[in-house]
A and B are shown apart, each in its own frame.
Chain A
Amino acid sequence: MSETDDLDAWLDANAALLGITVAPEWRDAVRLHLRITREHAQHVMDFELPDDADPAPVFHA
């Protein structure tokens, strides 16, 4: 399966789950967005986090 097929399958599955219609003329832009999102996600996931890492949700300044 090529990367485009892969993204198309993702796009179709998500659209069906969310109950939205993606018009044919939008597909290229949506696919591009998904590709960038996936690349960004991979970069973030590549960072090694220890199991005891905790977010810091409270900010004071």
Chain B
Amino acid sequence: MTDLAWASATSIAAAVASGETTAATVIDQTLARIAQRNPLLNAFTAITAERARSRAVSIDAARAAGKSIGPLAGVPFAVKNLIDIADLPTLAGSRINRAHPPATADATLISRLEAAGAVLVGALNMGEYAYDFTGENSHDGPSRNPHDITRMTGGSSGGSGGAVAGGMVPIALGSDTNGSIRVPASFCGIFGLKPTFSRLSRAGSFPFVSSLDHLGPFARNTADLACAYDAMLGPDPRDPVCADRDAEPVGPSVAAGITGLRIACAGGYFRSGASAEVMAAMDNVAAALDAKRQIELPEAARARRSLCHHHIGRGRSAFGPLAQAAMRIRSRRARPADRRCHGSGCLGGAGTKIPPLVSRRRVAAVP
């Protein structure tokens, strides 16, 4: 492993497992690299150096004692700053959250990556309350695209894209409510996974739109992406929508590539309004994937606008409460029976059981 900056997560874990290097060495080098590169790339908003060093020492001690150290042993990772890190306030890119008390526990996905041997090294920059697409933050400054620092990383998980593409960590976590993993992964030329809804727990992350929020990994190759995803899979009672089904790891099938997958391009709305340059890039990818079919999703334009309203209404933008009220009026117009229904979440018919409001961040620890 000559250049740790560009080493894959799986090769780092293999080197730690074989004794070619130690987790402590990997983490020291990672922290040094972050100190050198981050002033330019501005991907990190917090660096958990002490915690990371202590964790690395534990991994090396476990290996020396002949214990199992996990498939990601010694692999550094960092998380978008809307994911709870114990003892740090969860910013979600905002200024006002800085006054919040520190999180009392790590998010589920951090615990799971660490259980697989990975080492958290910090929190990552993002657009304020994820309402950007650019990766630019008014309070922490913009995250910079490692390929050209005069360009944006894309957002809202801008720091996640910059940290991975900039060779600071091989794996990062981000979130995607309306493109926030897909956009920076694309702009930064790396891989991002917005998983199927309900596969990865969101417990311990700042919520925007419950039915659309996804957490997921970033990596520089698909094997690392799969390895991180597999380590985080599985039911979680702390997130009520997390699927109650056994983990279905994808790592074993990654080497098969796209064999057996059906891939089509979205046409219609998705082919309109884009520049010739964008169309050419999309066609290039489609050709590489041998995707010849084009499908059209009905009412995509209206659905997208509806989604924007869903964000505004369910999210935390300034006029959210009033937009939400307007949405309830809209839903009652659609269902006259719902006029009998008062309070939040009135989207079901009369007699429909209304689920209680739950907090993804304040649910008591599950034994």
Interface residues of A (CB under 8 A from B): 14, 17-18, 20, 30, 34, 37, 40-41, 43-45, 47, 49, 51-55, 57, 59-61
Task: Evaluate contact between A37 and B334: CB separation under 8 angstroms.
Answer: no
Residue B302 lies at the interface, judged by CB distance under 8 Å to chain A: yes
26 contacts between A and B (CB under 8 A): A14-B318, A14-B319, A18-B318, A18-B321, A37-B308, A37-B323, A40-B305, A40-B306, A40-B309, A43-B305, A44-B302, A44-B306, A44-B309, A49-B334, A51-B336, A52-B335, A53-B335, A54-B335, A54-B348, A54-B349, A55-B331, A57-B347, A59-B198, A59-B211, A60-B198, A61-B196
Interface residues of B (CB under 8 A from A): 196-198, 211, 243, 299, 301-302, 305-306, 308-309, 312, 318-319, 321-323, 326, 330-331, 334-336, 347-349
A59 to B214 CA separation, bound complex (whole angstroms): 14
Task: Evaluate contact between A51 and B334: CB separation under 8 angstroms.
Answer: yes
**Contact residues in A for B196 (Cβ distance below 8 Å):** 61
Other-chain residue from A41, A51, A52, A61 in contact with B198 (beta carbon distance below 8 A)? A61
Task: Evaluate contact between B301 and A43: CB separation under 8 angstroms.
Answer: yes
A23 to B335 CA separation, bound complex (whole angstroms): 39
**Contact residues in B for A43 (Cβ distance below 8 Å):** 301-302, 305
Given contacts A40-B309, A53-B335, 9 further A-B contacts (CB under 8 A): A40-B308, A41-B305, A43-B305, A44-B306, A44-B309, A51-B334, A53-B334, A55-B331, A57-B211
A55 to B75 CA separation, bound complex (whole angstroms): 43
**Contact residues in B for A37 (Cβ distance below 8 Å):** 308-309, 312, 319, 323
A60 to B312 CA separation, bound complex (whole angstroms): 25
**Contact residues in A for B348 (Cβ distance below 8 Å):** 54, 57
Which 4 A-B pairs give the minimum distances between C-beta atoms? A40-B305, A44-B306, A49-B334, A61-B196
Shortest CB-to-CB span from A21 to chain B, Å, is: 11
Q: A43-B305, A44-B302, A51-B335 are in contact. Are A61 and B197 (CB under 8 A)?
A: yes
Shortest CB-to-CB span from A26 to chain B, Å, is: 10
Q: Which residue of chain B lies nearest to A17 when distances are taken between CB atoms in the complex? A: B322
A17 to B326 CA separation, bound complex (whole angstroms): 15
**Contact residues in B for A40 (Cβ distance below 8 Å):** 305-306, 308-309
**Contact residues in B for A54 (Cβ distance below 8 Å):** 335, 348-349
Task: Evaluate contact between B308 and A55: CB separation under 8 angstroms.
Answer: no
Q: Which residue of chain A lies nearest to B199 when distances are taken between CB atoms in the complex? A: A61
Task: Evaluate contact between B334 and A41: CB separation under 8 angstroms.
Answer: no
A60 to B198 CA separation, bound complex (whole angstroms): 8
